[in-house]
Copies of this chain bind each other. A is one copy, B any other.
């Protein structure tokens, strides 16, 4: 493809890893610069993660929150989108290695923006993942949609009261925004959408438990809003168990250790994990090659300009970066992306004019506040007013604010209209338009990862013999 002006080989090569809020916004913000942008991501879509719980609970379709990244960037001729799983960054040779279907590709960079985000953390117990999927990807959300609805289907066919109870007990681990939203939505799904559609079971008797090792709901939003959210959830019927630490998860339930040290069991077929995040392993890859350090959550300790020590051309933004006072939320990633793009823009201009670039000012995060929906017509919100002062409110007006903001931030006009329609149906009525599950999901077949492992070991055995 031809580019106006300089040829592609002349131009500075900016490589971006990740298509989340950080990666996408970095690419967009580099639109009017002379640089050549390559965005490498593991998924073909940009995921609007704050609404992922609505895909999992059948309110919206995956297409509404996960448009293809390359279609968003179609008209930006200096940007190329590449599918691939980045497995290694070579700082010495300035190359990014990515893998797609067994092929390894090496992409050289002049400047690198790492925005690979964070995955679910099981705090060293990765075997929990099989029985309590996280809520980080479209795959996760569709898997959970299948498990939640599948549990009701199985309960309808079961005549064993214990099994039925286990199938109708849903446990959400982690009382952060995602956990609160999931618990509220599973409760509404059972009480409203599914009500009256079974003959042997009563879906409104489903038992939703929201559980956290911490002593509060929504800890980052402060005691007042946490209590508000808790009261609302409890009124809806969600059981909240605080100071409760999960010590084991298996097919049939969870083992929980309470504050007093006592151990108990919760029998539950369908578990959701939203208890912690762990930054992309690419951070660890950097540690081995430079003076870079990572924190306990795997986040990279960056310089004030978001670059890594000794490599002013390598930046880490979003959930992968450990920056004092910047929460792991969309705004942190977006602001980081725009900040780095501006640095690169200035430096590109300076190169062009043969002048010295302006010295980099440290990254400053502007806190626009945060919010979480609890249920239909109910949310909690926090807006900083400068200094230590904050506006905190909950209920209908917070929900309206949530609604408006999320609509504004959704990509594309069509998506806004489609989502508004999906919401209207669910909010004013009790229907949900996206309750389809595939056969594979309905039968909760053995997870593909397990099978791949088995297949790999079979292949190894064959190769050995």
Q: Compute how far the CA of A158 lies from the CA of B104 in the bound complex, rounded to whole angstroms.
A: 11
| Pairs A–B under 8 Å by Cβ, sample size 28 | A43-B439, A44-B149, A44-B437, A45-B436, A66-B436, A67-B435, A68-B435, A71-B431, A73-B197, A74-B196, A81-B197, A100-B157, A103-B157, A137-B438, A138-B436, A139-B438, A139-B440, A412-B431, A417-B421, A418-B421, A445-B448, A446-B452, A446-B455, A448-B451, A451-B452, A451-B454, A455-B455, A458-B458
The answer to whether the Cβ of A414 comes within 8 Å of any Cβ in the partner chain is yes
Is A156 part of the binding interface, using a Cβ–Cβ cutoff of 8 Å?
yes
Contact, CB under 8 Å: B418 / A433:
yes
Indicate if A443 sits at the interface (CB-CB under 8 A): yes
Chain B, Cβ-Cβ closest to A141: B438
Asked if A451 and B455 make an inter-chain contact with CB atoms under 8 angstroms apart, the answer reads yes
Residues of B within 8 A of A45 (CB): 435-437
* Residue A80 at the chain B interface, CB threshold 8 Å: yes
A80 contact from B199, B431, B446, Cβ within 8 A: B199
Is A356 at the interface (CB under 8 A from chain B)? no
**Interface of A (DSSP majority class):** mixed
Most buried by B among A153, A156, A425: A153
The answer to whether A153 and B44 touch across the interface, beta carbons within 8 angstroms, is yes
B197 near A71 with CB under 8 A, answer yes
A58-71 to B contact mask, C-beta < 8 Å, 1/0: 10011110111011
Which A167-207 residues sit within 8 Å CB-CB of chain B? 193-194, 196-200
Q: How far is the CB of A192 from chain B (nearest CB, A)?
A: 12
A235 to chain B, nearest CB (A): 26
A436 and B62: CB pair below 8 A?
Answer: yes
Closest 9 CB pairs of A and B: A61-B61, A63-B434, A451-B451, A80-B199, A66-B436, A74-B197, A83-B153, A70-B197, A62-B436
- Give the interface size class of chain A: 35 or more
- B residues less than 8 Å from A417 (CB atoms): 421
A397 interfacial by beta-carbon distance below 8 Å: no
Q: How near does chain B come to A82, taking the closest CB pair, in angstroms?
A: 6
Query: Given the known A-B contacts A103-B157, A197-B70, A455-B446, are A433 and B415 also in contact in the complex, defined by CB atoms under 8 Å?
Result: yes
Closest B residue to A103 by beta carbon equals B157
CB distance from A261 to the nearest CB of B (A): 37
CA A82 to CA B139, docked complex, whole Å: 26
- CB neighbours (8 Å) of A414 from chain B are 421, 425, 431, 433
A105 CB within 8 Å of chain B = yes
Complex interface: chain B residues within 8 A of A138 (CB): 436, 438-439
The residue from B80, B101, B418 contacting A422, defined by CB atoms under 8 A apart: B418
Task: Select one of B68, B73, B153, B445 contacting A452, CB under 8 A.
Answer: B445
